[in-house]
Structure 1
């Protein structure tokens, strides 16, 4: 099996601002694995705050030797071995994981969701994400999200109320909030959540810094809205620690090393009674379509990453009337443009 990779820069349609950073592009790596004339596609999307880069991903890929693989279907051994090559590098690892899964599906001739026994018709609606911005841009983005049934808004700075009020000037659709660790004290967080609960908000994602576990548990006991972990839960080992602190978890392929671990995280979260959300970075339809294969298993999805960029180089999963629509194609279902 051969591994190929190349850098690609995702160009955002609007500046994307969260509580801790802002950007107009996202560095990415596009990956291919090939054997027996079959090509599987993968992607690493690496917003700078994750600590990965095109250079670090390239260095990691050079350590991955797929030529020794005897049985490419043996992913339960192959992917942990790749994970063990170096610490971190979760997006780079996800790119290889996605490409290997895509190859398996293409070789068999079936979509991954079918191999997992899932019903594509049960894929949930996806939210549309609005970053921190001026009232005018927030209202513009809200209008652009007309087909979506739910709006996700980034908060965590000093204009939280203005952001919500700008959205409410345009729509009464349900809103989910991602504070990206922006609220620093539990009393502040509780006041903000109580205000948001009266304005059609469904849940709060990562309200406080991930280190403030006791404060978050205190907040959960008093919050009128569910709390969903994002930065606090990145990999499988983190899921158990979320019980009693959060009501659910947000799983992102770029943080958890890909589809294999994401599936295991969903199974464990369900066993612990936690709600599950599938999230994304700004990504092409390659990584979005990969995550979408698991979407029939989750409560909520935030898989709008490809519609936030202007240079998507794949055709794959689409959003129809606000709902994730999986293509009836093998593997992750993508076609390079």
Structure 2
């Protein structure tokens, strides 16, 4: 097997602003694994605030030697080897995991979703994200979300109510809220949760900083809305820690090193009776279709990356009634431009 990779800067349609930062592009590393005349494709999406970069990803991926493995079908062994090369680097590791699963699907002549016993008929509708912005720009963003049944709203600054009221002036679609750790006082957060519940919000992600474990648990206990851990839930061990603190977990391939670990996290969350959302960073259809292959196993999906970017190397996924369609094709069924 041969691994290669290429750096890409993914340009965003609008500046992406959340509680703690703003950006106009996201560095990606697109990976390819070649074996027996076939190619599997993967992706690392690396928002700068998470600490990975083109340089760090190239450094990590350069250390990987897949020639020692006789077949991609030894994926457990391969991914354990990749994970052990160095700590951290979850997005770079995910790029290998995704490419490996795409390749395996092509070798087996089956879609990736079948590897995880996911049923396309249970695909949840994906939300489309509205980042923090002025009322004028928020209205423009909302006007572009017609194909989506749910909107995800970024909050956590001093204009939270204005954001919701502006959106509500244009649509009555159900809203997911992500505060990105922006609320610091549990009583003020609870007041906000009650207000949001009156304005058609379904749940709130990471209302308070992940380090405020007791406060997040208190908020979950008293909140009229379900709470989801996002920044607090990175890898497999974090799922157990989320029990009793949040109602559910937001699993992202770029945080947990890819499809294989994400599938284990989903299974463990079910065992713990936690709700499950599968989310994304600013990603192309490559990583989005990898997450979509697992989405039917989840309660909610936030897989809107391709619709929020400009210079994308792949065509957008097919969307029907707000749900991503899983193609009955080998691997991830990617369509390159």
Which TM-score band (shorter chain)? Answer: over 0.9
CA distance in 2, matches of 1:158, 1:328: 46
Kept in 2, the 8 Å contact 1:289–1:316? The answer is: no
Number of the residue aligned with 1:234: 234
CA distance in 1, matches of 2:172, 2:187: 27
CA apart distance, 1:119 = 1.6
Structure 1: how far apart are the matches of 2:263 and 2:114?
A: 14
Secondary structure in structure 2 of the residue aligned to 1:76 = helix
Q: Secondary structure at the match of 1:152?
A: strand
Provide closer, same or farther for how the CA distance between residues 289 and 65 of structure 1 changes in structure 2, counting only shifts above 3 A: same
Q: Distance in 1 between matches of 2:72 and 2:333?
A: 19
**Contact in 2 for aligned 1:236/1:256 (Cα 8 Å):** yes
More off after superposition, 36-45 vs 69-78 = 69-78
Aligned counterparts of 2:57 and 2:117: Cα–Cα separation in 1: 32
- In structure 2, what is the equivalent of residue 22 of structure 1? 22
Aligned partner of 2:281 in structure 1 is 281
Tell me the CA shift for residue 147 of structure 1.
Answer: 1.6
How much does 1:258 deviate?
0.1
Q: Distance in 2 between matches of 1:296 and 1:42?
A: 21
SS at match of 2:187: helix
Residues 79 and 316 of structure 1: CA distance in aligned 2, closer, same or farther (over 3 Å)? farther
Alpha-carbon separation, structure 1, partners of 2:306 and 2:46: 14
Does 1:248 find its partner at 2:248? yes
Aligned partner of 1:68 in structure 2 is 68
**Bigger CA drift: 63-72 or 297-306?**
63-72
Tell me which residue corresponds to 2:159. Answer: 159
Match of 2:225 in 1: 225
Structure 1 regions of 5+ residues with no counterpart?
none
Aligned-partner Cα distance in 2 for 1:96–1:218: 39
Superposed counterparts of 1:181-196, under 5 Å: 181-196=181-196
Q: Give the equivalent residue in structure 1 for 2:115.
A: 115
d(CA) in 1 for partners of 2:112, 2:49: 30
Aligned pair count reads 337
User: What is the rounded CA distance, in whole Å, between the counterparts of 1:82 and 1:199 in structure 2?
Assistant: 45
Asked whether the 8 Å contact 1:103–1:331 carries over to 2, the reply is yes
| Cα shift readout 1:194-249 (whole Å, capped 9, x = no counterpart) | 11010000000000000000001111111000000000001001000000000000
The normalised TM-score by structure 2 is: 0.99
Query: Does the alignment pair 1:126 with 2:126?
Result: yes
- Is 1:168 matched up with 2:148? no
8 Å Cα contact 2:307-2:316 kept in structure 1? no
Structure 2 stretches of 5 or more lacking a match? none
Distance in 1 between the 2:270 and 2:152 partners? 23
SS of corresponding position for 1:241: helix
Partner of 1:13: 13
The corresponding residue for 1:179 is 179
State the alpha-carbon separation in 1 of the partners of residues 147 and 181 from structure 2: 29
Hey, what's the Cα distance between the residues in 2 that align with 1:251 and 1:47? 16
Give the corresponding residue for 1:293.
293
Higher alpha-carbon deviation: 241-250 or 314-323: 314-323
Contact kept? 1:317, 1:327, Cα under 8 Å: no
User: 1:316 Cα deviation (Å)?
Assistant: 5.9
1:285-324 pair list within 5 angstroms: 285-315=285-315, 317-324=317-324
Q: Which residue of 2 aligns with 1:135?
A: 135
**Partner secondary structure for residue 277 of structure 1:** strand
Distance of 1:72 and 1:62 partners within structure 2: 19
Match of 2:39 in 1: 39
1:115 and 1:26 mapped to 2: Cα distance?
30
The Cα offsets for residues 110-144 of structure 1, whole Å up to 9 and x where unpaired, read as 10112222221221100000000000111111111
Q: How high is the TM-score relative to the length of structure 1?
A: 0.99
- Please, which moves more after superposition, 5-14 or 323-332? 323-332
SS in 2 for 1:8: strand
